[in-house]
Amino acid sequence: MTPEAITAVPLTAEAFRPFGDVLEAAGTADMVINGGRCDRFHDRARLTFGSGRAGISIFRSEAVALPCRLDLMERHPIGSQAFLPMTDAPYLVVVAVDEGGRPGPLNAFLAASGQGVNYLAGTWHAPLLALVDGAAFAVVDRIGKGENLEEFALPHGVLIVSEAAENPA
């Protein structure tokens, strides 16, 4: 069976809000610090860690190529998870709200260089889909006991395509 195709659109904070936060230096800064040399966009992520604590880990991923076949979604029911690219590395973000314990309709976004995302606890999302091989991401998520990973196999898979260049790197 041919998988459904979903077109990735540029990531914006407004479109992403039901799923989480876009972390970027965009719009109006909340304060200016360091003698006027630095803009601070303050406290922009809805972080939750349940009974655990915050940790910072580094992910280094192989790249996927566009179009990209996706067979699995996952979520973290008791903690948020933020992905912060550490180099000029665009990546794909595929998310869905929960509908009775499984992902609702999928939404695909193309995150540009300089854009991080924070998934709310419980948001279904694809595993990390880097578009630059070996790209490193800082991940801020929950460290603690208890099962914080649910997976959902997509019955027929989906194909993520992009309106932008097939190789944005």
Task: List interacting residues with its own copies (CB under 8 A).
Answer: 23-25, 29, 33-35, 37-45, 47, 49, 53-62, 82, 84-88, 113-114, 116, 118, 127-128, 134, 136, 138-140, 143
Judged by beta carbon, residue 24 or residue 110, the one nearer its own copies is 24
**Which of 87, 98, 86 has its CA nearest to residue 150?**
98
CB of 146 to its own copies, least distance (A): 15
HEC secondary structure over 58-113:
EEEECCCCCCEEEEEEEECCCCCEEEEECCCCCEEEEEECEECCEECCCEEEEECC
Length of the chain: 169
Judged by beta carbon, residue 59 or residue 152, the one nearer its own copies is 59
CB of 100 to its own copies, least distance (A): 26
CB of 105 to its own copies, least distance (A): 23
**Which of 1, 7, 45 has its CA nearest to residue 23?**
45
State both tokens at 109.
């976004």
Judged by beta carbon, residue 15 or residue 33, the one nearer its own copies is 33
Judged by beta carbon, residue 5 or residue 143, the one nearer its own copies is 143
CB atoms within 10 A of CB 165: 8
CB of 145 to its own copies, least distance (A): 13
Give the list of residues 6+ apart from residue 159 with CB closer than 8 angstroms, or none. 3, 4, 5, 6, 67, 68, 69, 70
CB of 40 to its own copies, least distance (A): 6
Judged by beta carbon, residue 42 or residue 163, the one nearer its own copies is 42
